[in-house]
């Protein structure tokens, strides 16, 4: 009887760990929203993450007073052991190409981001998962629209 009980407990533990790993793969997949003040004014972002193993792709859609940008997320990675996400948003601003690097700490339905805008500025903000019941009108986008 002990062997059967031990085998069942081990099987249950294995299945629980497998389910946990599967959830970690999808921990950031989907839409997230955050906003922050920057040197060029308030910015509101929607991130649309796609996850494949430890790789992250998708879109970063930024809205500020005078422009909306939609850029591809590149060099995206998830470190499941540390609950971290990193990626780059390459944006064109006033005819300049700027690499914006993000590092985020994932905690449930929040990601605490640190954002480095080239060597120009840094911002810290929190993005929250957009749930189906939260989905409202999304901002319209134009790719890399320069600021006026």
pLDDT tens readout for residues 36-53: 999 888 999 999 999 999
- Residue 107 maps to a domain: yes
Q: Which residue has the higher pLDDT, 123 or 20?
A: 123
Does some domain include residue 95? yes
Q: Is residue 1 part of a domain?
A: no
* Confidence label for 18 from pLDDT (cuts 50, 70 and 90): very low
58 within some domain: yes
* Residue 113 in tokens: 């981001």
Q: Is 47 exposed, middle or buried (0-12, 13-18, 19+ CB in 10 A)?
A: buried
Higher pLDDT, 11 or 124: 124
> Mean per-residue pLDDT for 130-140?
61
CATH number at residue 72: 2.40.128
Task: Enumerate residues 6+ apart whose C-beta is below 8 A from 83.
Answer: 27, 105, 106, 107
In a domain, 44, yes or no: yes
Residue pLDDT, tens place only, 67-89? 888 999 999 999 999 999 999 99
Q: Which residues contact 92 (CB under 8 A, 6 or more apart)?
A: 69, 98, 144, 146
Average of per-residue pLDDT across 109-114: 97
* Domains in the chain, number: 1
Asked whether the whole model's pTM tops 0.75, one would answer no
In a domain, 13, yes or no: no
Which residue range(s) make up the domain with 101? 28-134
Cα(79)–Cα(55) distance, integer angstroms: 9
Q: What is the mean pLDDT of residues 128-145?
A: 59
pLDDT at residue 137 is higher than 50 = no
Residue 45 lies in a domain: yes
Q: Which contacts qualify for 20-28: CB closer than 8 Å, 24 or more apart?
A: 21/80, 24/78, 24/80, 25/51, 25/53, 25/80, 26/51, 27/51, 27/78, 27/80, 27/83, 27/106, 28/56, 28/78, 28/85, 28/106, 28/111
pLDDT higher than 60, residue 29:
yes
């Amino acid at each position: 009887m002990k062997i059967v009980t031990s085998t069942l407990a081990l099987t249950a533990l294995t299945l629980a760990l497998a389910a946990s790993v599967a959830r970690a793969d999808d921990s950031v997949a989907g839409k997230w929203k955050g906003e922050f003040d920057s040197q060029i004014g308030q910015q509101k972002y929607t991130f649309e993450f796609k996850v494949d193993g430890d790789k992250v792709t998708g879109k970063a859609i930024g809205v500020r007073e005078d422009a909306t940008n939609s850029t591809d997320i590149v060099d995206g990675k998830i470190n499941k052991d540390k609950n971290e996400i990193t990626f780059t948003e390459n944006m064109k601003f006033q005819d300049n190409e700027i690499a914006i690097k993000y590092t985020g700490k994932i905690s449930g339905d929040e990601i605490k981001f640190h954002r480095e805008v080239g060597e120009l500025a840094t911002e810290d903000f929190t993005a929250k998962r957009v749930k189906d019941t939260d989905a409202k009108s999304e901002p319209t986008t134009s790719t890399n629209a320069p600021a006026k």
